[in-house]
Structure 1
């Protein structure tokens, strides 16, 4: 089920780097899911991840950054 994102407050992920046009944005406040979009195409439909999938994604990024 897709949440109503009409009033979503989007924020750039703290893991995004590269300026205003190279960011992942997320919307908070949607229990159980994390809406994610590309800042370059904010009008495109977001990807809706389960909260567990988002945690796994962020953990993977953290592990990858630790190796760099």
Structure 2
């Protein structure tokens, strides 16, 4: 999936723990039931797209691990 498909109409949100130098993880609703994740340092890369349930599982596992 190309970055161009995310260029218009997507509201990216940055993590609240974003560093001062702009190293952030950004997420956006891509399509119904899909969440896109990208690295703000390299916007030329295509985002990772997960189902909403996979994204919720990822967040749960991150919180459990203490990352």
Q: TM-score per shorter chain, which class?
A: 0.7 to 0.9
Deviation at 1:24, TM superposition (A): 1.1
Superposition TM-score, scaled by structure 2 size:
0.73
Structure 2 counterparts to residues 1-68 of structure 1, below 5 A: 4-7=5-8, 8-14=10-16, 16-19=17-20, 20-21=22-23, 23-28=24-29, 30-65=31-66
CA–CA distance in structure 1, aligned partners of residues 54 and 64 of structure 2: 15
Superposition TM-score, scaled by structure 1 size:
0.72
CA–CA distance in structure 1, aligned partners of residues 55 and 29 of structure 2: 12
RMSD of aligned residue pairs (Cα, Å): 2.4
Q: Which has the higher contact order (CA 8 A, sep 6+)?
A: 2
Deviation at 1:13, TM superposition (A): 2.6
How many residue pairs get aligned? The number is 63
CA–CA distance in structure 2, aligned partners of residues 44 and 10 of structure 1: 15
CA–CA distance in structure 2, aligned partners of residues 10 and 17 of structure 1: 13
Q: Secondary structure at the match of 1:44?
A: coil
